[in-house]
Amino acid sequence: MQLPKRPKGSRTAKNEPELEDPGFGTRIVHSADRLINKDGTYNIVRQGQQVWTAYQSLVEMSWSAFFLCIVIYYLLVNFVFAIGFLIIGVENLAGMSAGAFGEDLAEAFFFSIQTFTTVGYGAVNPVGMASNLLASADALVGLISTALATGLVFARFSKAQAQLVFSNDALISPYRDTGNMSFQFRIANLRQSKIINLRASVILSWIETDSAGVETRRFHTLPLERDTVTLLPLNWTIVHVIEDDSPILGWEPRDFTSHQAEVIIFIEGYDESFGQKVHVSSSYTCREIRWNARYLPMYFSQHGKTVLDLDAIHHFQFLDEVE
């Protein structure tokens, strides 16, 4: 299928002003898979000097990785204190009798855990200045660690993060009864929370080759049928009508491929549950655009209520199948 041709004398994508570069620049022209991954992360590998902060890493990593870090830290710190108690000597821990190294290490390790967590069963207690100082340091580290872990857990729970799902495929579909085609994709909120005042920005990125054979990456913001919605109780189909001023007017599937075209999506809104703005991004490449198709309905009425089937957000139908 081919999109309608651009009328003679109209502007072409080559003559469009380069206004909406989101920050990637014009020199990324190699055959990379995409600029932005489907999950919104950048398809960029950083090398060289970087700044690492423990707080940011612990807040942004997955929950499984976070708890693994907590467990490793918990075991490692108590192991270090256990070694310290062994160096001082088990005779300075009342309630412990000297034995094999492994047994002494295990008893010192569990004594450190009791001190670290302020449980203090009382079966073992420090005797002498050195062991009391080490036990005091153990308890202090335990209190600070508990406070830090609690703060990190709270920060992770209170971090605003929208759970918007994008359709797997974008569509080139007829736009109502106008005779024009359109570029479409749809989103929905996976949570029960309310996201209000949503705004969508859609940027087309493609590679352009001039007469000298120099390749340059271009960006153009696609005008949308509707770029804002006040509420998102159902799904939102975001539509760019392919009219005379559209940079993809006249493009065929092979044009998307040859130009390494990518449609970059930015969504922002206000999450009432967190009281914060949320931002979501994604993209579609030529391999994720289906031509001459339409989305199937996602919601229907049942027992006086409207049912939204979130699993149906990816469902579409080719129009030639309907015919």
* Class in CATH terms, 54-158: mainly alpha
What is the per-residue pLDDT across 69-113, written as a single tens digit (0 to 9) for each? 999 999 999 999 999 988 888 787 887 777 788 888 888 898 889
pLDDT tens digits along 246-260: 999 889 989 888 888
| 57: phi then psi, degrees, rounded to nearest 5 | -65, -45
Q: Are strands 181-189 and 170-174 parallel, antiparallel or unpaired?
A: antiparallel
User: Which two tokens mark 227?
Assistant: 């770029």
CB 195 within 8 A of CB 232: yes
Q: In terms of Cα–Cα distance, which of 204, 201, 206 is closest to 220?
A: 204
Host H or E run for residue 176:
none
pLDDT tens, position by position, 300-320: 998 889 999 999 999 999 988
* Nearest to 194, CA basis, from 172, 226, 162, 238: 162
The residues spanned by each domain of the chain are: 13-44+162-322, 54-158
SS3 assignment for 60-81: HCCHHHHHHHHHHHHHHHHHHH
Q: Are 238 and 224 in contact (CB under 8 A)?
A: yes
Residues ≥6 apart with Cβ < 8 Å to 302: none
**End-to-end alpha carbon distance in the chain:** 15
Q: What's the pTM value of the predicted model, to 2 decimals?
A: 0.73
Q: Residue 172: is it exposed, middle or buried by C-beta count within 10 angstroms (0-12/13-18/19+)?
A: buried
Residue located via tokens 């001023």: 245
Measure the CA–CA gap between 221 and 323, rounded to whole angstroms.
Answer: 34
- The ranges of the chain with pLDDT < 50 are 6-18
User: Spelled out in words, what is the top-level CATH class assigned to the domain 13-44+162-322?
Assistant: mainly beta
Three-class SS state of 279:
strand
